[in-house]
Amino acid sequence: MTAPLVGVLALQGDVREHVLALTACGARVRTVRRPEELDGLAGIVLPGGESTTIDKLARIFGVRDPLVAALRGGLPAYGSCAGMILLADTVLDGTPDQQTFGGLDITVRRNAFGRQVESFETDVDLEGVDGGPAHAVFIRAPWVERVGPGVEVWGAVTPPGTTTSRIVAVRQGVVMATSFHPEVTGDLRIHRRFLDLVEGS
């Protein structure tokens, strides 16, 4: 079987890290900036970075509307951090003109962990990911404040110095998102999970 062709939206953010992780998992990878680069993809990754910038550049490059249409049409997608924000149907603490692509029936709070601790690392148990907890890096990360009925929660953390558990990993059908960045830790299990979704779809 040919390896699936997976896109990485390459407007801003840690594109290279996702390309390396997907390649290490055996996928064929294409960076995506223009509408025609969406053609023939079996899935797409939205990287960590700055969601407001990626949103603006997606509109400028004309890739926003075709990407939204592809997501509505069932293109498997994985978003880390800013990518999670871009996949969320609703964003809290966004900028006034901020838009998302949508696809996940969740509400995220942007920079949610930021006010307490800025950035932190912790081990997180992930349901459906074998081999023990994942080391997760949170960089001005969002958390998920609401999930719709079709959304599976597969990871949550209690931020340092607090007692409330926050949702940091979700999946709805073939769309998944994490608040943290598996692409920077060299732990390929989450990218493999995404490729399983892509191959099963």
Give the residues lining the site for ligand GLN (CB under 6 A): 48-51, 81-82, 85, 110-111, 139-141
Residue 152 pairs in a beta bridge with 171
Provide, rounded to whole angstroms, the least separation between the CB of residue 80 and ligand GLN: 7
In this structure, what token pair is assigned to residue 22?
A: 């997907």
| 2 CB burial (10 A radius; 0-12, 13-18, 19+) | exposed
Annotated active-site residue 181? The verdict is yes
Nearer to ligand GLN, 42 or 176 (CB): 176
In this structure, what token pair is assigned to residue 132?
A: 């023990």
DSSP letter at 35 equals G
Catalytic residue among 17, 18, 37, 181: 181
One-letter amino acid of 58: A
Nearer to ligand GLN, 4 or 110 (CB): 110
Provide, rounded to whole angstroms, the least separation between the CB of residue 79 and ligand GLN: 9
Annotated active-site residue 183? The verdict is yes
DSSP letter at 126 equals B
Nearer to ligand GLN, 82 or 174 (CB): 82
Provide, rounded to whole angstroms, the least separation between the CB of residue 126 and ligand GLN: 18
Annotated active-site residue 135? The verdict is no
Catalytic residue among 152, 183, 191, 199: 183
Catalytic residue among 17, 18, 37, 81: 81
Provide, rounded to whole angstroms, the least separation between the CB of residue 141 and ligand GLN: 6
Q: Phi/psi at 37 (nearest 5 deg)?
A: -75, -5
Q: In terms of C-beta distances under 8 Å and separation of at least 24 residues, what long-range contacts does 52-56 make, across chains too?
A: 52/94, 52/95, 52/98, 53/11, 53/12, 54/9, 54/11, 54/12, 54/13, 54/82, 54/86, 55/86, 55/98, 55/99, 55/100
One-letter amino acid of 31: T
Nearer to ligand GLN, 4 or 191 (CB): 191
Nearer to ligand GLN, 109 or 171 (CB): 109
Provide, rounded to whole angstroms, the least separation between the CB of residue 201 and ligand GLN: 25
The residues assigned a catalytic role are 81, 181, 183
